[in-house]
Chains A and B, each alone.
Chain A
Amino acid sequence: MTDSLFRHGLEDAPQCVLIVNGVEHQVPMQSSVAAALHYLGYLATRAHPVSGEPRAPFCHMGVCFECLVSIDGQPQQRACLTQVMPNMSIDQVGVGTY
């Protein structure tokens, strides 16, 4: 996790809690999980199963499968196709070798 390369474009957007790798964060509610991760400063979402290199969402529309993370205990979910829900738990971010 580093300084985010992104910012949220709307003022006063409603926020909710998102738990990333066990840590609670506030994120804009109307957001995909992948977008919320970028907002928080997570760029890479998984470690490549062959090379171990970090990989990040490429297409954000369900084609590339680079954004696989564990969502509420379900492994290998596409973060780009999942909407953020209050208290959703996102694990294995940047380390899951999916």
Chain B
Amino acid sequence: MHKIYDYLVIGAGPAGMAASIEASKAGLSVLVLDQAASAGGQIYRNLAQASDQQTKLLGPDYVAGKPLLARFMAANCDYQPLVQVWHIETHEHGFAVAAMLHGKSITFITSHLLLANGAMERPMAIAGWHKPGVMTAGAGQVLLKSSALLPKQVVLAGSGPLLLLLAQQYRAAGVTIMAFLDTTPGVNYWQAMPWLVAGLTTPKQLFKGLWLTLAQRIKGPYISGVSHLEVMGNEQVSGVRYTVAGRVYELECKLLMLHQGLVAETQMAQLLGCTQAWNETQQCWQTQADAAGQTSVSGVQVVGDAGHIGGADLAQLQGRVAGINRAKNASLTGSWLSNRVNLGLLFRLKHLRWARGLVDRLYRPAAWLFKPTGSTIVCRCEQVSAATISAIADGGCAGVNQLKRFTRAGMGACQGRQCGPNLAYLVAHAQQRSVSEVEPLSVRPPLSPISLGQLAKRPRL
């Protein structure tokens, strides 16, 4: 007989940890599943094990996760690291979550689900992005946090707070930043201007952000107004080509890190049938949810960057609200006191999300990024080029799901995570439709690869 949990939380980042703390405090039986070896999510990755030298490099925002991590480790909830959820289905008691642990599939049963599985970096399909020597800025941060690995020298290209933060951390660690190629379109600065008011209501973050952007410009080499990035080289990266004000430049390098903001990881919510909505400002599909994370599917909540990209503070706050709300529905707490706490939290939540509007507008990705052409690989797994995809889209293909059947784009191991958004942009562009009208790739199990043997050995429920 399986144990039936009251609350199964997927992801042990700031949102998942905060929700688990609240729900277990209220007496619910909580299980937290996480892909990583230790809790913290991407932002506080490896925080519990990081040495003093590492935490010094990573700065105060990293160490800020320590109290939350300590409360999570002390919370009365079950926590299972190193699991990979590959399927979620409905079950007579709620939901059955199938996950891989040490090469075996195990199933967990829960009445309620919280999706706190975070975000991934927006795939930046520039020419040659599949060549060895190109990785994401997030990859650079992961290498630093979990393995203390630093590049000897690197070119950073793209736009967004994470790229600026990485530049600062690398400089502090003595890494040579050969160039910071900023693709933020000039028009963004004007469009973000009215949102300065929102930014001013969170002055600490605003000044930190200002300092990060200014520091890059002062310390250099910093190049703004960059567009049409291209990776040069055959077997691996030999350089990067880019355009500034109509002139083309080339820069030799062996390592290039790209960043273009984050997109929510919606696959689990899609699999469960949660209603999705296109967010024009953040340029990604998101799972529709209320302030407590409640989705269109009863018993399923989504919080943190898995729902709406907002960063660690907002994720933690939303996790708390979601956890408290879940406990209230289970009528284990439900006193007037928790209600009032909730209102205060809700107000802070709304405020932080509003203030985030400044970042969203300032770092909106440039339009040229969504129009890969020619031999540029769009689907990395199946090696499908932009030209192939555009030709099929020009021919009147109904959408990305039909395109997938014609070209195999989206059928590979990453399950369309790296190509899905760009397929939609290319279809929208070819057919002069808005990308919000192009239905995203359908999601089917397994969410991550599982061998037939492992599937066959899966215990019956």
- For A48, the chain B residues whose CB sits under 8 A away are 383
Q: A7-B152, A10-B51 are in contact. Are A54 and B132 (CB under 8 A)?
A: yes
A50 at the interface (CB under 8 A from B): yes
Stretch of B23-31, B134-142, B185-193, B426-434 contacting A (4+ beta carbons < 8 Å): B134-142
The answer for the CA separation of A9 and B51 in the assembled complex, in Å, is: 11
B160 at the interface (CB under 8 A from A): no
The interface on chain B, measured as residues whose beta carbon lies within 8 A of the other chain's beta carbons, has a size of 50
Residues 19-47 of B, flagged 1 when their CB comes within 8 A of A and 0 if not, give 00000000000000001110000100000
B147 at the interface (CB under 8 A from A): yes
Whether A9 lies near B149 (C-beta < 8 A) is: yes
Whether B136 lies near A43 (C-beta < 8 A) is: no
Residues 134-175 of B, flagged 1 when their CB comes within 8 A of A and 0 if not, give 111011001110111111110000000000000000000100
Whether A32 lies near B147 (C-beta < 8 A) is: yes
- For B37, the chain A residues whose CB sits under 8 A away are 83
A residues 47-85 touching B (CB-CB < 8 Å): 48, 50-51, 53-66, 68, 74, 76, 80-81, 83
Whether B49 lies near A30 (C-beta < 8 A) is: yes
Stretch of B271-279, B309-317, B410-418 contacting A (4+ beta carbons < 8 Å): B410-418
A29 to chain B, nearest CB (A): 10
The answer for the CA separation of A65 and B36 in the assembled complex, in Å, is: 16
A44 at the interface (CB under 8 A from B): yes
The main secondary structure of chain A at its interface with chain B is loop
Whether A58 lies near B139 (C-beta < 8 A) is: yes
Name the residue of chain B whose CB is nearest to the CB of A66: B380
Whether B148 lies near A61 (C-beta < 8 A) is: no
- A-B interface pairs (CB < 8 A), number: 131
The answer for the CA separation of A11 and B380 in the assembled complex, in Å, is: 37
Whether B414 lies near A5 (C-beta < 8 A) is: no
The main secondary structure of chain B at its interface with chain A is loop
Name the residue of chain B whose CB is nearest to the CB of A58: B135
- For A6, the chain B residues whose CB sits under 8 A away are 143, 149-152
- For B150, the chain A residues whose CB sits under 8 A away are 6-9
Name the residue of chain A whose CB is nearest to the CB of B46: A30
Whether B414 lies near A63 (C-beta < 8 A) is: yes
Q: A5-B255, A54-B236, A65-B414 are in contact. Are A59 and B136 (CB under 8 A)?
A: yes
Q: Among the listed A30, A43, A60, which residue makes an inter-chain contact with B143, where contact means beta carbons less than 8 Å apart?
A: A60
Whether A5 lies near B254 (C-beta < 8 A) is: yes
- For B270, the chain A residues whose CB sits under 8 A away are none
The answer for the CA separation of A66 and B379 in the assembled complex, in Å, is: 12
Name the residue of chain A whose CB is nearest to the CB of B53: A10
- For A30, the chain B residues whose CB sits under 8 A away are 49, 146-148
- For A38, the chain B residues whose CB sits under 8 A away are 143, 149
Q: A30-B49, A44-B132, A54-B236 are in contact. Are A13 and B120 (CB under 8 A)?
A: no
Q: Among the listed B42, B51, B383, which residue makes an inter-chain contact with A61, where contact means beta carbons less than 8 Å apart?
A: B42
Interface residues of B (CB under 8 A from A): 35-37, 42, 49, 51, 53-54, 57, 84, 103, 120-121, 129-136, 138-139, 142-144, 146-153, 173, 235-236, 254-255, 380-383, 412-414, 417-418, 448-449
Interface residues of A (CB under 8 A from B): 4-11, 13, 28, 30-32, 35-36, 38-39, 43-44, 48, 50-51, 53-66, 68, 74, 76, 80-81, 83
16 A-B residue pairings within 8 Å (CB atoms): A5-B152, A7-B150, A9-B57, A28-B148, A32-B142, A35-B149, A39-B147, A44-B235, A55-B380, A56-B133, A56-B135, A58-B136, A60-B142, A61-B138, A63-B417, A64-B414
